[in-house]
Structure formats: structure tokens, C-alpha cells
Structure 1
Amino acid sequence: MSDAFGWNTTNLRGVADRYAERTGCRVYVPDFMHGTSAPASIKAVIDSVLNDRGFWGWLVKPWNLLKAAFVMVPFSIRNKPEKRYPGIRKFMDDLRCNEAANLKVGVVGFCWGAYGITHLAHGEVAANGKTIIDAAFTAHPSEIEVSRDIEPVKLPYSMAIGDVDFALPLKEVHKAAEILDAKKDVDTEVVIIPNAKHGFAVRGNPDNKEEKDMADQAEDQLVRWFTKYLS
């Protein structure tokens, strides 16, 4: 499940293709936002707001904040995770009852997509009586409340996140890790990647070695996790 920029971005599709190649799984990248994802062009504006610290960055920040809000506020209204979750659940239920009736199912959620995969990891049951999924992985999650959304996790759940992620502050990451670690009857993990910013797994620059290494680390984590639980 994609981040706010939807299923059609080059980076996300490339990631999906690599996941398929490395795990041997069939990978679906559905459009759960029904064509209303945030345009990729706004990413540079958001990055400027978050990262530019020089004089010029501070000078243009109010204008960039307005530009970002003009795009992201309508996006957030249209695509509240709670609003889109019934469609996500129906898609996954149909998948479990048809193509994947006798297969293992894993879900991946980046940023916005974390809400959906985390709720599926609560152990929801499909119409055929099986749990909808078998395992979940999320990188740089947003749209989740740790106590509300992490506490009910009942299925194998892996998280990759940076220690400087604005969407889930480090204090909340540690809280999530404590909650998951206390679940002795289910396998979970939280891997904190130093200096990794929000979006590192799918939005990084592949020509930047540091950013590529962070994305590769998340990819390797996913491959290990799904090799363990979907094979």
C-alpha cells in the first residue's frame, strides 16, 4: 500500500518489481485512493519545508507551506485512512477468498499505507474463515496512533523506520517497540535506521549512496521477513 503519492510513481513500481523478483511473490499495487493521490510534484516542496535550513529556505518557507497545504489538505480530507480502509479490507478479503485461498498473503504499507496493513495485522478474518493476511511489513509509517493501532496487532509485524522521522517521533517508535516486544505469542520487530528520514524506503534518490543504502536496508528487511513467513 502506497504512500500519499499513490501507486503510479516510478520509485514505488520499481520497489514492487524488486520485491516480486527477490521473494518470488506476486505483488499487487492497488489504487486505494481512486485517482486522488497527491501529485509527485509536491514532494520537492514538502522536502524544502522540512529540510531547508538556510536563509533562503526560511525566506520561502511560508510560501512553500501554503503550496503544500493547498495540495495536502484536500488530499487528507479525501483519503482519511479510516475512510479508505473498508475498500482496502474488501480487496484483501476478495483476494484471500479467491486467488490466495490456499496461499500465504503478506502486506506492505509505506507512510499512508501503514494504517491499512496495521489494521489487517489485527487478525481480521476473511469470509472463508482464514485471517486475511499472514504477515505485515511497514516502512516509515504515518497515520497511526501507537496505543490504538499497535496494541491490537496479532500477526507477524515488521517495521523499518528512521530515528528522525517527523511522522512518528522516536519516542513513539520506542513505545511501539515496547508494545510489540511484549507480545510473546507473535513475532514482531522494529528496526530503527540512523539518520533515515520519512520516505526513505520509496522516495530516496537512488543516485545518492546514503539514501540508496537506507532503502536497500529496508528492502532486505522485508525480503527476510516475507521469506520467513510466506515461504
Structure 2
Amino acid sequence: MSCPDCFKGSTHEGQPRGKVIELHGLQTYVSEPSNDKSVRGIIVIIPDAFGWEFVNNRILADHYADKGGFRVYLPEFMGGHAAPVWMMDTFKAISTGGILSKLYNAPSAIYGMVPFVYYNRPGRSYPVVKSFFHALRKAEGADLPVGAAGFCWGGKHTVLLAADEELVDGKRLLDAGFTGHPSMLSVPADVEAMTLPVSFALAENDMAVSIQQAEQIKQIVEGKPEAQRGEAVMYKGCGHGFCIRADATKDDVAKQAAEAEDQCIRWFNKHFGLS
């Protein structure tokens, strides 16, 4: 279900400025534009394995709110079973250490990974995600455009939402989607099934999506009818998780993570009719 790279990366410094509310039955981090501008649309972040409390995900929500003028929701879709943040150190030790380090850290990796994998498999988690979007579209999203931004684990759910043709008061669950380095995709089937426009930010060195699969994704989404047409952008030299867990000390990777943020904002501006 998840590759080892799903649990690697860096924690970012910063203090999230949003607040936590209960929304449609889920604890939700919410961030609004800090410049007092009126909200122009809604973005729901469907996070990576580290979930809604992970500081990187909350900081990203703040960035989207300020850059795009959006209300950004980051719900607790995982029911308390997000991967623990200490797993990043564990997997780093496994990947960089010798045989003794691997043997020593392997039990901890399994201990942290198995509950996440078991409780958050798409067959179990997608109904939770869909239910939230259904309620959101009926309430806050009745008069505002709605987008889903999914990363790693969340990317699969964004793609599933883009293929889900259920209507709420005559509208789809969302207007458009964005995904950074998605995992668990069935390529080409999941991508071919999408009937809403989705923008992909793909990493060149990604265990979850190979170069060949990335090329397939690009060909499929850019070949769809205009109303469904997506895009796929390849970020050279980046690995899985770069949108969320990039090492801020590495200029090239940090720069490309910021470019992926801008890609997301441009995409929603376009499909929310704001550009």
C-alpha cells in the first residue's frame, strides 16, 4: 500500500496560524487569508501519511490560504491513525545506516506503519473522505468552488473523487483537483476513470509513481476532453514527498516545493474561474 519513501522527509519550522474546529463530524484545521480579503473558494487538503496534525501540512494550508485567497480545510480523515512523525527518523536510520541499524530500527518501523496501513486503506478511508465532501458541497460549498489537494496517501483519494460522479444539489463533489506525488494509484485505470480536471505534481525519483507511469499519466490527462483535461508537471531531481516534506536546507528541492505550491494555486484559480 505504501512505499518506504511515504515515511521519509523533514519536519519544517514554523507556527501554524489557523484554528481547529469541528466540521461535518471531523476535527478540522482551518486557515483563512491573513490579508482580510474575501474568500474566493475552498481547498480541502487530503494529507500525506502524517495526517492533519503534522505541522508541515498545517503550514501548507496557511500558504494556500494566503497565496490564493482560499479557505483551506485540513480534516482528520484518519480517525487517529496517522503515521507517527518519529517514523521519519526511523526510516532515515534504516536507509542510511548499516545492517545493525536496519535490524535495530525495523521493528519500530513496522510498529508505526502497520496501524496506518490497516486503518487507512482506501476501501475504509474513502467513504469518510467522500462523506465530508458531500456535506461540504451541501453547506459551505453550495456557493463557493471546491477543490481537493491530495498528497501521497491523499493523492489516491483526490483521484477517486475526480472519478466520482455523484451530484449534490446538481453539483459534483468538487470542481477540480490537485495532487502532489500520489501513492497507491492504479495506472492507467484510476487516471482514465477521472472525469474532472486534475493537476499532477510528479517527482522524478519516486518509488510510488515510476517515470513510465508518470508519462502515462501525462498522456492520459492531457488527452482528455477540454472540460476534463488535466496536466502533469515533472519535478526533476525530487523524490516522493517533496511537496510536503522537502528538506528546506536543500535549495533546489525547497524551490521546487514552492513551485508546486504555485502550480496548485494557478490550477485552482483557473478552474474556479478566478484567473
TM-score (norm 2): 0.78
Matched, 1:140 2:148: no
Q: CA deviation at 1:123?
A: 4.4
Q: Deviations over 1:71-124 (max 9, x none)?
A: 112210111022111111110011001111021111100000011111111142
1:66-105, aligned counterparts within 5 Å?
A: 66-105=107-146
Could you list the per-position Cα deviations for residues 157-177 of structure 1 after superposition, in whole angstroms to 9, with x for gaps in the alignment? Answer: 100011101111212111222
1:1-28 Cα shifts (integer Å, max 9, x gaps): 0100001111110110000111111000
More helix by share: 1
Q: Residue 5 of structure 1: which of 38, 50, 56 is its match? A: 50
CA offset at residue 61 of structure 1?
2.5
1:161 alignment partner, one of 198, 202, 218 = 202
Matches within 5 A, 1:17-166: 17-50=62-95, 52=96, 56-166=97-207
- Corresponding residue for 1:212? 254
Q: Distance in 2 between matches of 1:207 and 1:2?
A: 23
Residues in 2 aligned to 1:35 and 1:217: alpha-carbon distance in whole angstroms: 31
Spell out the pairing of 1:160-179 with structure 2 (5 A cutoff). Answer: 160-179=201-220
- Give 3-state SS (helix, strand or coil) of 2:185's partner: coil
Moved >4 Å (runs of 4+)? none
Residues 169-208 of structure 1 aligned to structure 2 (within 5 Å) = 169-185=210-226, 186-208=228-250
Q: 1:228 to 1:75 in 2, by over 3 A?
A: same
In 2, distance between residues paired with 1:74 and 1:203?
21
Task: Give per-residue Cα distances to partners, 1:181-228, cap 9 Å, x unaligned.
Answer: 221332211111011111101111223322211211110110111111
SS for the counterpart of 1:73 is helix
- Between the aligned partners of 1:92 and 1:130, the Cα distance in structure 2 is 11
Alignment partner, residue 270 of structure 2: 228
Rounded Cα–Cα distance in structure 2 between residues aligned with 1:139 and 1:123: 20
The whole-number CA distance in structure 2 between the counterparts of 1:82 and 1:115 is 11
RMSD of Structure 2 on Structure 1 (CA): 1.5
Equivalent pair of 1:123/1:133 in contact (CA under 8 Å): no
- For residues 210 and 63 of structure 1, the distance between their equivalents in structure 2, rounded to whole angstroms, comes to 33
Conserved in 1, the CA contact under 8 Å of 2:93 and 2:101?
Answer: no
Which amino acid in the other structure matches residue 165 of structure 1? D
